[in-house]
DNA sequence: CGGACACTTGATCGGTATCAATATACGTGG
DNA sequence: CCACGTATATTGATACCGATCAAGTGTCCG
């Protein structure tokens, strides 16, 4: 499995002016002229398969991506193979900013599903900063948002119990998913295995299974078709003592 | 203890042109013209006492700070009082960027020692982005660096054992301290209590004490005058399986 | 049909939390 | 100066959460 097999650069299907994501209420409106610039900034589209590695720790990627569709996760490894998943990426999220700014990647990114990515060149970033300060500001904003999510994750792993942690994580992911329209009116299907959950929560696989089971027994979630569905997001949040996402519109680069 | 008592706005003792930090090898050189701008961006200096709250979760601070001297820590609380320390701030670090960009603070910051802070106005940020794209880029870089540190911390809390975690944390803090000259040639004195360590590591106070004791028995660190000193940073890093900080020069705003 | 993978479940082990008690230093008010 | 409270560090005893070990199930797919 896995590897970098399913990657392929495809013709552009979307110009930024008719981006399928931008109309969503989660994103703030862009000036016409910003849209034009971003459209020029975009160099192509990339499709990757489930299990493909999008970016790998230690590499110096020349690219930066925005997720158009699909899911991925960001992770780090210890030398002996222990894995910590840091966060998940879904439509509208930027991938590879750290590497673009700082050179070497210090984490890897792997696709959880087939994905469609917008591709940007790292070298074009300085020009963006020079000509479009508003977009530059947006990029910093996006970096801050990532930091905020990490803060909450760290709080969770450090101080919440296993049950609270699992409840928080699932509520968090599904809230983010709903915000970018990953549902229709059916619940969001989160395409992860229990091993992914375990590696995000800092728990063993077996204990994660038993913890998830408690959430299922309480009818807060259920597990189906190799993925997780949320039944009662409110009670998950309550159980986790989590306030929920802030609802501000955010930029989409 | 604590509170916001010792805060006071003081006269400017340093103009940015003769900033005591900037000559350090940890920081990259600035253009003359950047320096002039930053100097105008700086609105004053603030002193705070040990234990003072610099920024508080839920507030909308109009300010942004750079640490000139002293130590602080950034943390979040759960409703029942459980605390997770997210990171430490030391000279050269920016405090309050998240709040400045996104509005409401979602974490608090408390001083671990007397501090001297440079004060900037949040309202001036857009002007910085408009007129100095290089500095804007730097600010994004700084946000990415914070994210990188959080990634490593999350890996630690999620996947390292108690002993590895403690070794990592102490090596990490002392490496950062040395990089900004907090030593002379004597080892860095880290001004934290074991309760701070515990709340950073995601461990109980008692177990943290027993873990620290093992590090002391192995003569890797010792505890003195209510603070921690590193005896053998290399062996700490080895024990934690940590590669160390990347040595790039960084911007100082 | 066999093998890989994801998910389950029970038994046992051990790392960490919790409880409890003591020691030391420090600051403050009597 | 002493008495007291508070903060910090320390240590032992015990409890429990979550890790590890060991099977076993179901499903998909070559």
In this complex, is the C-beta atom of A140 within 8 Å of any C-beta atom belonging to chain B? yes
The interface residues of chain B toward chain A in range 202-221, judged by CB-CB distance below 8 A, are 202
Closest CA to B70 of B52, B96, B43: B52
| Residue-level pLDDT at B185 | 59
**Smallest Cα–Cα separation from A137: which of A22, A21, A24, A28?**
A28
Yes or no, beta carbons of B148 and A102 under 8 Å apart: yes
3-state secondary structure A80-104: CCCEEEEEEECCCCEECHHHHHHCC
Percent of all residues in chain A with a pLDDT value above 90, rounded to a whole number = 89
Q: List chain A domain ranges.
A: 8-134, 160-240
CA A207 to C1' C12, in angstroms, rounded, equals 14
Close Cβ partners of B171 (under 8 Å, ≥ 6 residues apart) = B230, B233, B236, B237, B240, B242, B244
Say if the Cβ atoms of B140 and A101 lie within 8 Å: yes
B104 touches chain A (CB under 8 A): yes
10 Å CB burial of residue B241 (0-12, 13-18, 19+) is middle
Mean pLDDT over the full length of chain A: 94
Going from the first residue of chain B to its last (253 residues), give the mean pLDDT of each consecutive group of 10, the final group possibly shorter: 66 88 94 95 95 96 96 97 98 97 96 96 97 98 98 98 98 95 76 98 98 97 91 96 92 96
Pick the CATH number of A160-240 from 2.60.40.290, 3.20.20.20, 1.10.10.10, 1.10.3720.10: 1.10.10.10
Q: Is B62 left (phi over 0), alpha (psi -120 to 50) or beta?
A: alpha
Q: Do domains A8-134 and A160-240 have the same CATH topology?
A: no
Note the CA–C1' distance, B206 to C22, in angstroms. 14
Do B144 and A101 make contact, defined as CB atoms within 8 angstroms? yes
Helix residue spans in B191-244 (DSSP H): 194-201, 205-217, 233-240
Residue A2 has pLDDT above 80, yes or no: no
Mean pLDDT of A175-198: 88
With CA atoms as reference, the chain B residue closest to A132 would be: B130
**B8-148: CATH class:** mainly beta
Question: Residue A1 has what pLDDT?
Answer: 43
| Residue in B closest to A151 by C-alpha | B86
Q: Which of A104, A143, A199 sits opposite B144 (nearest CB)?
A: A143
Distance A135 CA to C5 C1' (A): 44
CATH topology of domain B152-240: Arc Repressor Mutant, subunit A (1.10.10)
Q: How far is B223 from B199, CA to CA, in rounded Å?
A: 18
Which nucleotide's C1' atom has the smallest distance to the CA of A202? D18
A158 has a chain B CB within 8 A of its CB: yes
Q: How far is CA B132 from CA A221, B62, B67, B136, in A?
A: 49, 21, 22, 6
| DSSP per-residue string spanning A166-211 | HHHHHHHHHHHHHHTT--TTSPPEE---HHHHHHHHT--HHHHHHH
Q: What is the CATH number of domain A8-134?
A: 2.60.120.10
How does pLDDT run across A121-158, given as a tens digit for each residue? 999 999 999 999 999 999 999 999 999 999 999 999 99
Q: What is the pLDDT of residue B182?
A: 78
Angstrom distances, CA of residue B13 to CA of A165, B3, B17: 47, 25, 12
- CA-CA-CA-CA dihedral for A121, A122, A123, A124, to nearest 10: 60
Write out pLDDT tens, residues A201-226.
999 999 999 999 999 999 999 998 88
From B158, B120, B169, select the one nearest B142 (Cα to Cα): B120
pLDDT tens, residue by residue, A156-169: 999 999 999 999 99
């Amino acid at each position: 499995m896995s590897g970098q097999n399913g990657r392929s650069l495809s013709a552009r299907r979307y110009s930024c002016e008719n981006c399928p994501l931008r109309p969503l209420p989660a994103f703030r409106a862009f000036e016409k002229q910003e849209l034009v610039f971003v459209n020029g900034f975009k160099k192509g589209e990339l499709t990757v398969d489930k299990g493909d590695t999008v970016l790998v720790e230690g590499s110096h990627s020349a690219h930066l991506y925005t997720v158009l569709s699909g899911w991925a996760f960001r992770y780090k490894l210890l030398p002996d193979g222990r894995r910590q998943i840091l966060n998940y990426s879904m439509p509208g999220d930027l991938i590879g900013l750290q590497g673009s700014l700082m050179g070497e990647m210090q984490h890897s990114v792997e696709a959880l599903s087939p994905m469609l990515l917008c591709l940007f060149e790292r070298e074009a970033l300085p020009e963006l900063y020079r000509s479009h300060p508003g977009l530059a500001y947006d990029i910093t904003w996006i970096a801050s948002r990532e930091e905020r999510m990490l803060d909450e994750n760290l709080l969770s792993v450090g101080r919440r119990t296993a049950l609270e942690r699992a409840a928080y994580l699932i509520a968090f992911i599904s809230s983010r998913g709903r915000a970018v329209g990953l549902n229709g009116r059916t619940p969001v299907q989160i395409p992860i295995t229990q091993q992914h959950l375990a590696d995000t929560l800092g728990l063993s696989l077996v204990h994660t299974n038993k913890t998830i089971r408690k959430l299922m027994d309480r009818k807060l979630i259920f597990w189906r078709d190799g993925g997780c569905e949320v039944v009662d997001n409110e009670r998950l949040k309550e159980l986790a003592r989590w306030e929920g996402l802030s609802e501000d519109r955010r930029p989409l680069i």
